[in-house]
Amino acid sequence: MPSYLLRVQLADRPGSLGSLAVALGTVGADILSLDVVERGPGWAIDDLVVELPLGAMPDMLITAAEQIKGVRVDTIRPHTGLLEAHRELELIDHIAAAGNRAAKLQVLADEAPRVLRVGFCTVARMTESGLERVVGSSGAPETAATSAPWLPLAHAEALDGTADWVPQVWRDMDTTLAAAPLGDPNTAVLLGRPGGPLFRPSEVARLGYLAGIVATILR
């Protein structure tokens, strides 16, 4: 059965999540996992992986969810990743167990999209001859960025996906971007989400923590 990643904003009060689960259940949806992405005063952003019966349209999820007062669907997209309880820890273990530096970076690029729920991951560095893509995940666009005015990078941050340096094909796909330094300010791990959603501050912080641990392993 097809599964989808549903990002919702809802009131952070007792019963809100239960009401949402009941509403999704009315259209045959089965919630497989839930991650709290971010919390604020009176609200929460949650990621739900939801399975639908064959033939059911994903638009039904939006209609059902937004019938609940205080619930707004941010995005919905197909979900193909495996469900794992300790994704970051497993990724760190896999990187540490890989061979040389190049192998470790490739593991990072390959597994980060599933762990951080993004479309692609690349590692890039600025050299005297220009921007170099060191490694990329299988979903990374063939068209690579040729400049990175945001480097050197001091800390993890969300990037402007409409900026001039962003390849046109990335912009056409409405790709949201975030990056974090990887050991030195001129080397960075870059995440992209074609079609969004925007990176929340908590997700950017999560990327920064992960990049910092990976940088320690690479040393």
Amino acid 81: pLDDT: 61
* Amino acid at position 112, single letter: A
Tally of CB atoms within 10 A around 197: 18
Amino acid 13: pLDDT: 85
Is the torsion defined by CA of 171, 172, 176, 177 positive or negative? negative
Above 70 in pLDDT, residue 84? no
pLDDT one-digit tens code per residue, 98-154:
999 999 999 999 999 988 889 999 999 999 999 999 999 999 999 999 999 999 999
Its pTM surpasses 0.85? no
Which residues are CB-contacts of 202 (< 8 A; sequence separation ≥ 6)?
37, 38
Q: Compute the distance between CA of residue 210 and CA of residue 219 in angstroms, rounded to an integer.
A: 15
Least confident of 8-22, 75-89, 95-109, 191-205: 75-89
Q: Which fold has domain 87-218?
A: Beta-Lactamase (3.30.450)
3-78 and 87-218: same fold? Answer: no
18: DSSP letter: H
Q: Where are the domains of the chain?
A: 3-78, 87-218
CATH number of 3-78: 3.30.70.260
Amino acid 152: pLDDT: 96
pLDDT one-digit tens code per residue, 21-57:
999 999 999 988 888 888 889 999 999 989 999 888 9
